[in-house]
Chains A and B, each alone.
Chain A
Amino acid sequence: MKVPQNDLSKNLPEYQPKEGPRGYSIRDKLLLFTLTLLSIAILGLSSAAFFLSSGALRRARLDGFRSLRESFSEVISRFFADHRRGIATQAESQTFRYAASELSAGYQELIDDLEDAGLPVDDALIASLRDRLRLAYEKYFAPMSALDISKNALAQIANLSREGVIVQYVYILGNAPDSGAEVENEPVGENDGTDSLASKVRNAFSKTTYARAVERYQPSIEAVVGRNRYNDLLFIDNRGNVVYSFGKSWDLGTNVVSGWLANSNLKKVFVGAWYGPPGSSTSPEADHVMVTDMEDYPAKNNRPVVFLGCAISDRLGEQQGVLVHEIDSRQITSIITFDEHWTQVGLGSSGEAYIVGPDRRLRTESRFLQELPPEQTIPSYNEKGLPDGRTSILASPLHNQAVDQLFANKARSGVGEVTFVDERGRESLGVFGMLPLPELNWGLVIRIDTDEAFKPAQDLARLVAVGGLVILVFAIGGIIVFSHFLLGPIGQLVATAEKIGGGDLSARAPVMTSDEVGFLASRFNTMVDQVVAGTNQIRKILETVNEGLFLIGPDLIIQPGYSRATSEIFHREIVGLHFLDLLRPTGQVLEPVLAPATLEATTLYLELLQNPKIKDKLIAQTNPLLEVEFRQRDPKGNRTRFLEFRFNRVLAAGKPTQIMVTVLDVTTSVSLKRQIRESEARAQSQIEMLFGIMHVDPSTLQEFLTHTETQTDNMVQALEAGQFVSKTAETAEQRSDRYARLLQTISRSLHLIKGNATVIHLSYFENLADQLEEEVVAIQQAGVVSGEHFLPITTGLGQMRDRITMTRELIDRLIEMQKVFSHKSSTLNGEFDALAELAEEVARRSGKRVHVTFDFAAPVPAEPKSLSETVHTILTQLVRNAAAHGVELPFHRVNCGKDPVGDIHIFSCRQDPHCFEFGVRDDGRGLDFSVLRRRAVEAGYADKEVIGRWGEAELTDLLFKPGFTTLEQSTRDAGRGVGLDAVQDLAKRFGGEIKVSSKMGSFTEFRVRISMNETFDC
């Protein structure tokens, strides 16, 4: 029988493969940790480096700037001091005194001198000269039209004094080479170079005192100017007229008090120098120098200049005028910018120094003029009056912290350092300080971009950071390598664990190192080995065990992992099925045959098992599945099987979780039990029978038996006769009528039997009859009846017959016993029992029944001594023959009207004292002489004709011929033809003879006569 291959590993509970280690691996954690740590370190270090170094740098810068500031201060103050000294010295010098005096005098006499020289200075002349001047002004100041200068200048032309007009005309417009004018003349008069007016004027002018004075002192003044690099040198008379200008600019000839320069610092310097410091009532000291703040000077193309002024006195000490020096801002700028050698001064590429005045406007040019926003600059004009870009000097006021703090300190020596944002938006580091200049309230600011200042610090920080990053990269590389070596084995272990989790139980972790990981790996392997061994053990047990063994859960579903025998018993895999499905017919090879009540009881029983309050041992006897019938389909034939189910609770922590089911094939034991029960029942019924018979009167019993037998035979015959043998078809109704009649006949007979049995209290027969009656009733009550339904009755009748036979046998046995027990006095004690047994045995073997009787009237003679033995031998043979040959089959006998049990009678007698006779007589079929005759012919003793004439005696003699037998086949007990001839011999030996008498169909008797004396005739 093919059983599906039971791969038990598939039947073991499925291991759910769990996912690999979730979350970050060790290496990731290590990396994360190191990265964080290093990043923090790098960050910290580079910040520290940055801050420390920037602090140092700051200090260094500031120190540098401070010293720079000091040096600048010194230089500037020396500059101004030198200039002050210079102008004072010059003012006191004789030359300058004389110059001033002469120039002033000459200026005053100018008109007179001109007229004396033949030039009438009338209004017309002056007017035309003014016109020309106007043109020149217009042309000159045109580019500067944005400023008010030209308007003012032009406006003031009208106010120019005559002297002024002349002077301006001559020195500015005219191209007088001899006057040494450095001013470039607008070639106004060029077109009319031969203009008589111009030359007239010039001619006349050259004869004046003024002109001669100018000529006389020009070289000395030039020398001074050149030496000191003054922008211009001016003499202003005591009326405020600019009587001399070295540079021959537009201020020449104007009146500082009332002219268009009245608002300029020229006036201031004049006033300051003439009158002395404010607050002093007396005339100023002789060496008092007035210094004005830098201002855009209109006369000098609006260039920012500083004026120094000093009063010139005559010998007598009377002030005659003021000497003015004009210093261009460029000079100061050049000092502060170190002539643009910034880096040498330590200002790098983004640093600068500048001076601001109390109005917070620059007094020096910004280094980063180009980068300044437009509002921080104003247009600038060069010496020729042409636009020259822009300048930051005296542009917008600066409002940065440095400047604020400069002027916040009231004390003039305000110094300090500050970090601030300058006009360009650059964060700057700077120092500031007020310059030690007596008249000027100027402050110095030295600044540098913090970026530049701290660039080294940044560089350092960057270096540290880069270095740190490099270290980080190495660190990561190091960790990866390290983790490979350390975590490699761990990873292998994890991989092995995953494989095992996935179901591959053969996986083992390689033990690669001898550290904790290696230890762990080897212990892990050991553990897995143990688990595998344990699993294998269970598997072996499940494969070997003979019973079906499986577990069901509380849901009664069969769980995977059960014994091989289970699938063999059920001829299929039962995993996942509901337990009760095993007990319901579902078309399987092994089909259950279960009463519905049993299924209910099973459900209830299983329910009880799951109740923790009830102990499973206490309800074991209510198990309804101790003998469950199954039908097994088999090509060779369906058979019935019986399975026994036993249930045990599985407890986990005291609570029932599963039920273990054991299934055992108990077919053989059940059938044995049934056989025992059947034989017990039989025995029981035999006992019943015995007891029943015991109390019945023998003749009554005999009659009952006969009657019952007759009735039974009748019923059997009725069944046989009740068949339909007509050729025409029968309707269902006719048939059912026929059956009904049959049943009635049977019923009647049964009733009779039952009645009789009841009377004599033979429950044995009574019950059977009753049972058969019930069967009849059942058939009568059934609807459609077919001949098949009669089968139980047929069988029942057979049973009735059997019972009758058994009863008769029992009686016979009793009779036999009685005979034996009542004939105790028979001689040949015990030997006759053997004979009787033999006879019965022989009879039995051929299906016959005999009972042996003895009548030994005469005992065997003692002499000769061997006679007794011979008698026994002969009797044995004769008895055998009688049983085998003589007695017929029981039914044969009945047919002849005889008792089915044959009678074999063993006898002895002594009719004659000299003759001892003994023999065996049976009431069997007797000798059939025709058979004898035929046999003789067949055996060839004589031919047919002769034998036909033989009489009984001759035929009888044949029996004693050796080898003669009338049986067609020899059986064990008779038919070999050995017996009778031997008997004859034996008899003859003792002087005896055998006589046979027989009547066909009635009896056969063999009589042996032994003579007791020497005479042989008896």
Chain B
Amino acid sequence: MKLLIVDDSSVVRLAIQRDLENGHITQVDQAADGEEAVRLYQEKLHDVITLDITMPRMDGLTCLESLLKINPEAKILIISALRDRATALIALKRGARGFLCKPINPDELREAFELLLTD
């Protein structure tokens, strides 16, 4: 199970990684911006991606579209601030699978992760 965490804050990335740590995840990659995320995904094709909306250089929506272009079935979970809710809705319409708002509740994050994987 490969996980890709995309967020411009290292604290957030670390928190997500820590919360989702379990035996099933074999590899975790982190990206601080959209371009890096696309590059990493292209290489490794992770099973699950967490994505922030407000990021420098490439914003969340653009990144989402690029990722989906690589794989339309990509499982992308948007993790962003509550004020980004409206944008999140658009992201969901475009193909994201879920949305969680910061501050992140570890239990909610784990539950969302489980739900994403069962299909």
Contact = CB atoms under 8 A, between A and B. Distances in A.
A–B contact (CB under 8 angstroms): yes
Interface stretch (B9-17, B20-28, B60-68, B97-105): B97-105
B70 interface: no
B98 A618 contact: yes
Interface stretch (A201-209, A606-614, A691-699, A920-928): A606-614
Interface string A584-621: 00000000000001000100110110000111011101
Contacts of A608: 89, 92-93
Given A597-B86, A618-B77, A604 B115 contact: no
Nearest to B115: A615
A622 B93 contact: no
A919 interface: no
B99 A622 contact: yes
Interface residues on A, range: 10 to 19
A618 B82 CA distance: 14
Interface string B27-56: 000000000000000000000000000000
A981 B116 CA distance: 84
Contact of B98 (A604, A605, A614, A624): A614
B111 interface: yes
A756 to B, nearest CB: 35
B90 A604 contact: yes
Contacts of B86: 597, 601, 624
B110 interface: no
Given A604-B90, A608-B92, A617-B111, A624 B85 contact: yes
Contacts of B98: 614-615, 617-619
Contacts of A624: 85-86, 89
A673 to B, nearest CB: 14
A618 B89 CA distance: 12
B95 to A, nearest CB: 9
A635 to B, nearest CB: 37
B88 interface: yes
A617 B112 contact: yes
Given A601-B89, A604-B89, A608-B89, A618 B101 contact: no
Nearest to B82: A621
A601 B82 CA distance: 13
A607 B89 CA distance: 10
Nearest to A604: B89
Nearest to A605: B89
Contact of B93 (A604, A615, A621): A604
- For the complex, would chain B's binding face be called helix, strand, loop or mixed by DSSP majority? helix
A619 B101 contact: no
B85 A622 contact: yes
A605 B116 CA distance: 18
Contacts of A618: 77, 97-99, 112, 115-116
Contacts of A615: 97-98, 115-116
Interface in A560-605: 597, 601, 604-605
Nearest to A624: B85
Interface centre among B85, B92, B111 (most CB of A within 10 A): B92
Contacts of B116: 615, 618
A249 B89 CA distance: 141
Nearest to A617: B115
A610 to B, nearest CB: 12
A614 B115 contact: no
Contacts, number: 48
A905 B82 CA distance: 57
A624 B82 CA distance: 10
B85 A601 contact: yes
Interface centre among B77, B82, B89, B112 (most CB of A within 10 A): B89
A622 B88 contact: yes
A616 to B, nearest CB: 10
A744 B111 CA distance: 59
A159 B87 CA distance: 150
Contacts of A604: 89-90, 92-93
Interface centre among B90, B93, B97, B98 (most CB of A within 10 A): B98
Nearest to A615: B115
A943 to B, nearest CB: 81
A580 B12 CA distance: 37
Interface in A608-649: 608, 613-615, 617-619, 621-622, 624
A604 B86 CA distance: 9
A624 B88 CA distance: 11
Contacts of B100: 621
A908 B95 CA distance: 83
A617 B97 CA distance: 10
Interface string A217-245: 00000000000000000000000000000
A614 B76 CA distance: 11
B90 A614 contact: no
B100 to A, nearest CB: 6
A801 B24 CA distance: 62
Nearest to B78: A622
A805 to B, nearest CB: 36
A619 B88 CA distance: 9
B15 to A, nearest CB: 17
Contacts of B85: 601, 621-622, 624
A624 B97 CA distance: 17
A960 B112 CA distance: 80
A897 B86 CA distance: 59
A613 to B, nearest CB: 7
A746 B69 CA distance: 59
Contacts of A601: 85-86, 89
B80 to A, nearest CB: 10
A224 B15 CA distance: 161
B97 A622 contact: no
A590 to B, nearest CB: 25
B115 A619 contact: no
Interface centre among A614, A615, A622 (most CB of B within 10 A): A622
Contacts of A613: 97
Given A608-B89, A622-B92, A614 B111 contact: no
Contact of B92 (A597, A614, A617): A614
Given A601-B89, A604-B89, A622-B89, A614 B101 contact: no
A604 B88 CA distance: 10
Interface string A13-56: 00000000000000000000000000000000000000000000
A660 B101 CA distance: 23
A597 B83 CA distance: 12
A605 B87 CA distance: 11
Contacts of A614: 92, 97-98
A618 B97 CA distance: 7
Contacts of B112: 617-618
Contacts of B92: 604, 608, 614, 619, 622
A646 to B, nearest CB: 15
Nearest to B113: A618
A974 B81 CA distance: 59
A952 B116 CA distance: 92
A612 to B, nearest CB: 11
A606 to B, nearest CB: 10
Nearest to B90: A604
Interface centre among A605, A613, A617, A619 (most CB of B within 10 A): A619
Contacts of A607: 93
Contacts of A617: 98, 111-112, 115
Contacts of A621: 82, 85, 99-101
Sorted from nearest, which 3 A-B pairs have the closest CB atoms?
A618-B98, A604-B89, A622-B99
Given A601-B86, A608-B92, A615-B97, 6 more contacts: A601-B89, A608-B93, A614-B97, A617-B111, A618-B115, A624-B86
17 contacts: A597-B86, A601-B89, A604-B93, A613-B97, A614-B97, A615-B116, A617-B98, A618-B77, A618-B115, A621-B82, A621-B85, A622-B89, A622-B92, A622-B99, A624-B85, A624-B86, A624-B89
Interface of B: 77, 82, 85-86, 88-90, 92-93, 97-101, 111-112, 115-116
Interface of A: 597, 601, 604-605, 607-608, 613-615, 617-619, 621-622, 624
